[in-house]
Amino acid sequence: MRYPVDLVIRNGTVVTAARSFTADVAVSGGSIAVVDTDLSSLAATAHDVVDASGLLVLPGCIDVHTHTRVASDDEPDRFFQDSVAAAFGGTTSFLAFNNPGTGSSAKAHRSILAGIHEFRRATASDSAIDFGLSPAILGGMVDPLGELAAMVDAGVPTAKAFMVFDFRLADRTIFEAMRTLGQRGGMLEVHCEDPVLIDAAVASALQRGNTAPRYHASTRSTGAEAVATHRAVAFARAADAPVHVVHLSCAEALRYVAEAKATGVRAHAETCPHYLTLTEERYDEPDPLTCARSLISPPLRSAADRDSLWDGLASGALDLVATDHVADRLAVEKAGAAQGVPFDKISNGAPGIETLLATVFDGGVARGRITVERMVDLLATTPARLFGFDRKGAIEVGRDADIVLFDPEARRTIRASELHHTSDYTPYEGLEVGGAVRSVFVRGTAVIRDGAFVGQRGFGKFVERGTAGA
């Protein structure tokens, strides 16, 4: 440790995945140096002392599922701005996908390694918080399997394959990618929806003239998600490799993940705040543009599904929560919904990068569905371990000092007008939540202080990650 230390956070309640306790936290050189009951002597000479009385001292959230868009000529601030939004919400690291629509070039759609190079160049001095990349493995790539070893060696041990959409990957390639990554210490993430069932349902709806946004939801059944999830975990079993099921939305799919785990498969799964907070009633909305706010894949499900996801988070059947943030705007990407554009031609996704901790704390901890320790596990400790963020994810000596000071007694109402993301709406408009982020530190440096942004563009580093899926 260097003396004097840089920062001492005093009198807060430190929360780890295992327990909560009152302690002081000293930070030196960007890392957590000491966690102890009374660090008044270190505080006396520290450069900065923060009183966290009455506050929770949480490890910063790690959002492993975002579709943040890299800067473009027209929108040079969008990547930076969404990183600022993440910080306001208590997130200190995020992973981006570089699928089509996120500003990636045609070259990146043909080669994973070209995509990594391009992403790193585009984001090198652009983020307020730490971040990384999970490349999308696209159907049109020249030799994606041949690039996986070099990808992992470049500090990028995870990638996402899609069973659906134009850039879907064939099942055989998904299986081979899973096996190759598993052998190298990597992990494949899979978007599980059955392409045959969904294509057929979409075609049939369109043929009947059912083109409104609500039919997006009715054509993407829980059964289609479940059968695809079953296949993905079966692949993981046969390949003896880990798999990460992204954005799991329903009880029917969850059952297959739980069964696989129980029989020793390294099957991991995330769900998202929207499936934990909202239900398919949103699609009863007659106005197509309002309905398109919730046009996401998989779609919102029933209240019973929502409840079973909370149970899965509590029991361990689900491993983590991530946002699936897409900064779509009603005025731009979703606008076609108001002009009668069919649902299959409207952009999928909804914003969420700033509301992860708010929704999980309120829906989970404040309502007694999960403990605060489990929340820390789901939002920081497990995402760090599964995705290879070796220095992050816990208030623990030697880890990066990525710290959130959180007031559990505060109450606030979520309003798009008060958020900082690059979307023009939030699915949680008007939702009253318990808890509020007060200050956020990344590697010991304040990014949010008493609710105000004090960070710097480019302070956030690209994180080269270690082994994933362990």
Stretch that binds Mn ion, among 34-42, 107-115, 183-191, 313-321 (CB under 5 A): 183-191
Residue numbers 226-255 binding Mn ion by CB under 5 A: none
Nearer to Mn ion, 99 or 123 (CB): 99
Shortest CB 240 distance to Mn ion, Å: 25
CA 60 to chain centre: 13
What are the residues facing 62 on neighbouring strands?
93
Stretch that binds Mn ion, among 34-42, 85-93, 185-193, 370-378 (CB under 5 A): 185-193
Stretch that binds Mn ion, among 24-32, 306-314, 320-328, 373-381 (CB under 5 A): 320-328
Among residues 3, 2, 41, which one has the least CA distance to residue 24?
41
Q: Can residue 270 be called a binding residue for Mn ion (CB under 5 A)?
A: no
Cα separation, 317 vs 305, whole angstroms = 14
Q: Can residue 191 be called a binding residue for Mn ion (CB under 5 A)?
A: yes
Q: Can residue 194 be called a binding residue for Mn ion (CB under 5 A)?
A: no
What are the residues facing 163 on neighbouring strands?
none
Q: Can residue 118 be called a binding residue for Mn ion (CB under 5 A)?
A: no
DSSP sequence for 426-448: -TTTT-EEEEEEEEEEETTEEEE
**Which residue's Cβ lies closest to Mn ion?**
191
Q: How far is CA 160 from CA 71, 90, 98, 248, 253, in A?
A: 22, 25, 10, 14, 18
Residue numbers 387-426 binding Mn ion by CB under 5 A: none
Tokens 């490799």 found at: 241
Nearer to Mn ion, 43 or 318 (CB): 318
Nearer to Mn ion, 191 or 293 (CB): 191
For the chain, the first-to-last Cα distance in angstroms comes to: 30
Here the contacts of 198-206 (C-beta below 8 Å, separation 24 or greater) are 198/164, 198/224, 199/164, 202/344, 205/343, 206/342, 206/344
Nearer to Mn ion, 324 or 333 (CB): 324
Stretch that binds Mn ion, among 189-197, 212-220, 228-236, 456-464 (CB under 5 A): 189-197
Tokens at residue 441, please? Answer: 């530190």
Number of residues that bind Mn ion (CB under 5 A): 2
Q: Can residue 324 be called a binding residue for Mn ion (CB under 5 A)?
A: yes
Shortest CB 246 distance to Mn ion, Å: 6
> Residue numbers of the site for Mn ion (CB under 5 A)?
191, 324
